[in-house]
Chains A and B, each alone.
Chain A
Amino acid sequence: MSRLDLADRTTALDTAVRAADGRIEPALLAEARAVVTRARERGGLSAEHTVVALAGATGSGKSSVLNAVAGAAIAQPGVRRPTTSHPMAAVWGEGADPLLDWLEVGRRHHVEPAAAEPAPDEPPGRGPFRRRTPAGDTTGLVLLDLPDHDSIVTEHRLRAERLVQRADLLVWVVDPQKYADAALHEGFLRPLAGRAEVVVVALNQADRLSAEETSAMLADLRRLVAEDGLDGARVLAVSAKTGQGIDDLRGLLAKAAARREAATARLAADERVVAQRIVDECGTPPPSRAGSQATGDLVAALEDAAGVPTVVDAVRVSARRDARSATGWPLTRWIGRLRRDPLRRLGLRTADREQRAPSGREDLVRTSLPTARPAVRSTAASAVRRYVEEVTRGVADPWVLAARSRGQAGIDTLPDALDQAVAATRVEAQRRPVWWSLVNVVQWLLVAVLVAGLLWLFVLFGFAYLQLPPLPTPVLSLPTWSGDGVVFPGAPGSGSGEGLGVDPFTIPWPTLMVLGSVVLGLLLALVCRIFGALGARRRANVARRRLRQSVGKVADRLVREPVGEELARLASCRTAATVAAS
C-alpha cells in the first residue's frame, strides 16, 4: 500500500506546504499543515497503541457498543439526548497516557484482562458480553467513546471533530433511524473520502430489524458510503443489546491493534489525500521548451528598450569614422573629423568614460543614451508580461499571479539597470588594427612624396622663371606601342618623336611624384574605406553580441531569476506533493 515511510511522506508534504505557502488556497494549506503537525505529533507518541474512535449520532449507541466491545459497563448510556458530553477512553495495556493527553481525553478506564467481567451493577439481560477474544490480542487498543456530532449542543460537535481528526481508526456507529442523515454523510464521511481503510461503519441496533431488513439496510448503507467516496469501507451490522456482530467488530479492532498499522495507515491516508489536492492545485507543469523561445523574445525586447540598435548603429558609424580618420587621405581627414561622432555623443567612448569615472568603475557612469523613460519602461513591462505568460502556460492561476508579481517587481529598476548594462559594456575595439597603422604610414609616405615632388617642381619653376638653364630632369619614358614594336622614347638618340605620329609618352619624375602620390593616396583611401566599412560592420556585430550578453544578464537578474525561482518553487511543491501523494 504505502511503500513510502510515513516520516518521508510527512517530510515531503511539509516541503510541499512550505513551497506552496501563499500560493494555494489558504484553507487547503491550513489543512495540509494540520495534517503535517498531526503526523509529527502522533509519530512522537506511542506507536504501540491504536486509537479507535467510536463516533456517531446522538442515540445511535456509541456508549453501548463501547461497553459491549469492552465487555464491561465502562460508559454510561443514557436515554436523555445528548448523552455523552465528554469523550472517554477504554485502554487495553499500559503506557497510553501521553497519547491520551495529546488526544485530550480526560476520562480513562483501564481494561484489565481480568476486569473484563460484567460489572456488578450491570442489569441482567443487558447483553451477553462474551470474552472469547484473548486479552493479549487487544493490548494496545485505545477505544474512545466520542460525544455525538449532530445534537444541538455544538461543543459536542467540536470535541467530536477534533477526535475524529486524531483517531487512527474510525468506527462510525449508526442506527436504523439515522443511518442516512445528511449531518453524518455530508459533514463527516465526505471529508474522509478516499480513506476507506480507516473507516468502519457499524449499523447498531440491528436487533430492531428482521434479517431481510438488515441486509437491505446494509446494502443501502454500503451504497451511501460508496457515494461518499469511501468505496471499500467495512460495513457491518451489530447489536449492542443482543451482542450480534460485536464479536466481529471486536475481532476487527483486535486485529487492527495487533497489526499496529492503523496509526500509520490513517496518517498516510490523510497525507495522501491532502497531497493529491495540492498536486491538483499546482496544475500541469509548463512545457520546458517554451522557456528558451520566451527568453529570446524577452532579451530582444529588452534590447530594443535599452536602445541597443542605436548603440550598435553608433558603433558602426564611429568605427567607420575612426577607420576613415586613420586610413583616409591625410589631406582631407580633418573634414571627416568634423562629422559628429555618434558614440561620443552617447557617452560611450572609452576615453571619455575613463575621464568621467575611475577606471574599473565604469558602472558609475550613465550613458547619455536617449532614454525615453515612459517608452522604455512600457516596452520592458510588456516584454516581461509576455515572458511570464509564456513560461507559465498551463500553470495554476495563483502561481501565475505569484510569478507575475515576482517578474514585475523589477520593472521599475529595469530602465536604469539596462542603461548601466549598456554603459558598462565595452563596445570599442581594444586596440586599433595593425593595418590602419601600416596604411597610415603609407599614406604619410605618399604625402611626403607629394611634398617632395611639389618642391622639385617648385625649384624647376623657379629656374625657369629666372631664365636659368633648365636643370636636367629625369624623365620616365613609358614604353609605347608603335608599328615596329616596343619603342623606348626615352632612349638616347631617338629625337623628339616626330615621324611615326606617335608622341613618345614621357613624364618628368617630379610631375609623376605629385600626380602619382595624389592618385595612389586617394585610391588607397577608397580601398581602405571599403575595408573600414567591413571592419565597422564586424565591430558592430561584436558590440551587438556584447550588449546582448549584458542585457541578457540584466534580464536574468531582474526577470528570469525571480520568475524561475517561483517556477522552481512550484516544481518542488509539485514534486514533493506527488511524492507525498504516491
Chain B
Amino acid sequence: MTQVHLQPWILQLALWLMLGVAVVLLLIIAFARLTRRRRTRRQSGELRTLRRDILEVASGDDEEGAARRRLDTLPPRLFRAVLPTLIGLLSKVRGAPARAIVTILIAHGAVTLALNDLTARSGTRRAQSAWMLGLMRRDRSVHRVIPLLEDRDRGAAVTAARSLGMLGDPRAASPLVEALQPGARGRGGLPSWVVVEALVGLGPGAATEIGDALHREDPTTRAAAALALGLGQHVSQLPRVRELVEHERSPDVLAAAAEAIGQLGSLQDVDALTRLSGVDFPRAVRSAALRSLGEIGGAPARDVLSGLLADEDPRIGDLAAEQLCQQGTPGLEVLRGLAQGAGAQGASARYGLMVDSLRRDRPLEMA
C-alpha cells in the first residue's frame, strides 16, 4: 500500500478555497432571496392595482372594456400571477362577466396552451387543462377532452368527466356512460357520482342516450343512468324508468329508479312507489321509495306514508315521518293526528313533529 504525503500548504490552500466557495454560495443565496423579496413586493403592489381591474371585469362593471383591455395586455409574468384569481372567479360568476374573463384568458393564449397540455407528460397538467377548457366552455374541445376519460391518471380522468359536464355537449353522453366500465390497467371505472353529475350537465339533448343506458347489462350503469335522468329532469324518459321499475331485480338500480320517479313522476306513480316501499324490498329501496312519495306528495302519498309510520323498521317509520313533515301543513296535520297514539306509529309521528320544531326553531306542537 502506497502512502501519499501532502504538503501542508496544499491542505491550507484547499481549506481557503472551500471557505471562499462557501462565502460565494452564501452571497448568492442572500442575493437571490433579496431579489425574490423585492420582486414579490413589487408584484404584490402591481397585483393590488390589477385586483381592481379584475373585480371590475368580474362584477360586470367594466362597461367600456377598459379594465379588460389592460388585463388583455398584461406581460406574461403578471398574467401568471393573476391567473389563479381569474380561474377562481370564472367558476363562481356567470353571464357577461364570465365571458369577459374567458376573453382575457383567450388573449393570453390559454386555450391553445390548455389544448396542448391535454397530452402533457404530467397528469396534473392534463387535469388542469381539461378543467380549464371546461370552465371556459370551449365546446369545440369536447372531442379532445373525451379521450382523457381513459387517462392512466385517475385524477385526470375524473377531471375530464367533470369538464365534459361543464362543456355540456350531448356527444359526451355515450363516452361518459362507457367510462363507468373498468378498463385495462386500472383505467376507466370512474365513480358513479362523477359520471352522473357530468351526464346531468349535458342537458336535454342527452336524454335519449342516457335513457338507452337503462338497458345496459351492468347494474352500475343502469343505476347511474336512472339517477342522471331524474336529476337532469328528463321527463321524456319517464316511461322507460317506469318500465325499468317493473322488471328490475338489482336493489341498487331499483333504489336509483325510485329516486328518479320522485323527481320526474306524478300521482300516477304512487302505486309503483308503494310497492317498492313494501317489506319485501331492502331498506335502501324502501327508503328511496319513501323519499319519492314525499317528493310527489298529495293525499294518496300521505296515506301510504302515514301507514309506514307503524313499520317494524324504526328507521323507515322515522323517514316516513320526515317526509310528512316536508309536505308542510297537510303532512303535519297527519302527524299531529297520530302523535297521541301508542306504539311505533305514535312514536314516529312524535319524532316527525320534534324534527319539524327543531328545523323551524318553533315550539313543539303535538296537537
A in complex with B: no
